[in-house]
Amino acid sequence: MEINGKTRTCGLIGNPVEHTKSPVIHNTLAQEMGINMTYVPFHVAEGALEAAVRGAFGLNILGMNVTVPYKKDVIPFLAETDSLAGKIGAVNTLVRTESGYKGYNTDITGLLRAMKSDGISIKGEEVIILGAGGVGRAVTFMCAANQAAKVYLLNRSEEKAQSVACEVNQALETDCVTAMPLSGYQELVKTGERRYLVIQSTSVGLSPNDDDVVIDDETFYCCVKSGYDLIYSPWETKFMKLVAKNGGNAYNGLKMLLYQGIDAFELWNGCKVSEESADRVYKKLQESVRK
């Protein structure tokens, strides 16, 4: 697509950003849909976040994605925050308004769309979430908000997991989230029944540490119906291999990346991306990741 005086710019702010696959999503969608938009990554150094947000607004940038380590830190510099993002306490998408940027969290809506595309519903399920960091907190909120029967939040620091569980339960007026230490999985699998949806939300197993895994006990994986690793590099993590080896369905995080990007693209451009277009972008993402 020709870049001209009417081309709108969107982009990604974070540190680092050199590894990002997001330009594949947005530039392919813009071409697919005939939208005069380009998407580029912006490396924002520590201490320069406020200047970056205000500068982007001053430059008439249509919208931005936000990645680590700024998903929480960006909130004070926004004109408004969507209610879901506000409750989660993290923003990954900025949408331009007359007074500034409005913050959204499309990581969570993207994961939900990814699961639905794989035929998985959270409603009524018993969910185990590994990791209580920023991603784990958002995933916990998503599962509780979408009527999971029970959410077990496992973390190396039980105190951190307890803090997240209390926040989510209080925000949603529920008691479905239970915090546990990592060793708590032994209690959960005592019956030997295959019943859990497990979401791996930590960076453990991220390339080049392909052989690392949070729980390395096959007894645990015998009780997993479906396992989502939010990592997509390597293509098949050790967590996924253990899930599949023991009879469960294993998925990586590439579809979450796809759909969080599609949700952001739709917010920026006031459009609806077809599933046919989503499938074509997903194939491009797969090619990019597997190179």
Q: Report the catalytic residues.
A: 71
Please list, residue by residue across 235-270, b when 16 or more beta carbons sit within 10 angstroms of its beta carbon and e when fewer do: eebbbbbbbeebebbbbbbbbbbbbbbbbbbebbbe
Q: In 52-110, at which residue ranges do the beta strands (DSSP E only) sit?
A: 63-66, 80-81, 93-97, 100-104
CA 274 to chain centre: 21
CB 132 within 8 A of CB 153: yes
Tokens representing residue 168 in the block: 């989510």
Cβ contacts of 107 within 8 Å, gap of 6 or more: 90, 92, 135, 138, 256, 260
CB 146 within 8 A of CB 177: no
CA dist 31 and 40 (Å) reads 15
CB 245 within 8 A of CB 217: no
Spatial CA neighbour of 176 closest among 210, 152, 204? 152
Cβ contacts of 14 within 8 Å, gap of 6 or more: 20, 41, 43, 44, 66, 67, 68, 69, 70
